[in-house]
């Protein structure tokens, strides 16, 4: 998505809520550059939330809680979980108080040991992969 289309996104309709387009994850070697790169760069050119911004952090958790409560979801699936800071994801299972939400995290990697390791760290409550 080009930067000029960000105003169409809700609830974050300003470029200030996203990481700058100074890096992107396109090629296999990009994903091996380290955690900061994986969590702060655009995945295949898509806008990447600035989770370190408290307005984004709280806004996303409020949005999640509102949707779970309004629609009665039994659980949530988080795609591309390894591209989201674990500190944020640890709050996704119980967003903004209220009852816990079963949360399933996608961790894609060709090596099942890497996927399994993500579930053993305590960062993710349930992990799946499509090798």
- Per-residue pLDDT of the chain (131 residues), as tens digits, is 565 665 666 778 888 898 887 788 888 788 788 888 888 888 888 888 999 999 999 999 988 888 888 888 888 888 888 888 888 888 887 778 788 888 888 888 888 887 777 775 555 567 777 65
68-73, long-range: CB within 8 Å, 24+ apart, which pairs?
68/95, 68/98, 68/101, 69/98, 73/101
pTM (2 d.p.): 0.79
Query: In the Cβ-directed half-sphere of 113, how many Cα atoms lie within 13 Å?
Result: 0
């Amino acid at each position: 998505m080009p930067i000029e289309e960000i105003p169409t996104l809700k609830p974050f309709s300003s470029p200030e809520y996203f990481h700058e387009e100074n890096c992107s994850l396109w090629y296999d070697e990009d994903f091996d550059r380290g955690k900061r790169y994986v969590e702060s760069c655009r995945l295949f050119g898509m806008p990447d939330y600035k989770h370190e911004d408290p307005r984004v952090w709280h806004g996303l958790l409020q949005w999640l809680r509102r949707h779970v409560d309004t629609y009665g979801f039994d659980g949530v699936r988080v795609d591309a979980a390894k591209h989201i800071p674990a500190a944020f994801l640890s709050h996704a299972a119980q967003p903004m108080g209220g009852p816990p939400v079963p949360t399933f995290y996608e961790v894609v990697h060709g090596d099942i040991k890497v996927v399994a390791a993500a579930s053993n760290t305590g960062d993710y409550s349930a992990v799946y992969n499509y090798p």
